[in-house]
Amino acid sequence: MSVSSLRLFGLAALLLFWVSSCKKDDPQDPTPVEPVTPSNTTLLIGRVTDPAGNPVSGAQLTVGAKSGISNPDGTFALADVASGGRIFVSASKTGYFKGSQGLIPENNGVS
């Protein structure tokens, strides 16, 4: 992607955000707005692979107090992982070096 395409995309995204955020307040609307309280958790989905890119089945995954095991195709899903800051996912299995990856997950999303 060229620099000019990236700038054009950024400008378009900024324009879309600006236009969509403009809303005239309606004093006639008596409907109260309930605040949304984020739960500060995320669904973490990933795949464990070896250096050659082959899936690693049965790897132990750990994120804080949450843990799980990778499937035969190397994939895993951990629900209700605490978010709101940087987290580290660790993977370990006998015969392999322990691996880890850091990320900043989205609140109430999928990371």
Mean of the pLDDT values across residues 3-10? Answer: 60
The mean of the pLDDT values for the chain is 78
* Domains of the chain, start order: 41-103 (2.60.40.1120)
pLDDT in tens, 68-102: 999 999 999 999 888 878 899 999 999 999 999 99
- Residue 6 pLDDT grade (very low, low, confident, very high; cuts 50, 70, 90): low
Give pLDDT, residue 82. Answer: 84
> What counts of helices (H) and strands (E) characterise the chain?
1, 6
Of the pLDDT bands very low, low, confident and very high (cuts 50, 70, 90), residue 48 is: very high
pLDDT of 11 > 60? The answer is no
H or E stretch including 2? none
Task: Please give the Cα distance from 18 to 10 (Å, whole number).
Answer: 12
Q: Tell me what pLDDT residue 76 has.
A: 94
Please say if the pLDDT value at position 23 is more than 90: no
Q: How far is CA 4 from CA 8, 16, 89, 101, in A?
A: 6, 18, 36, 32
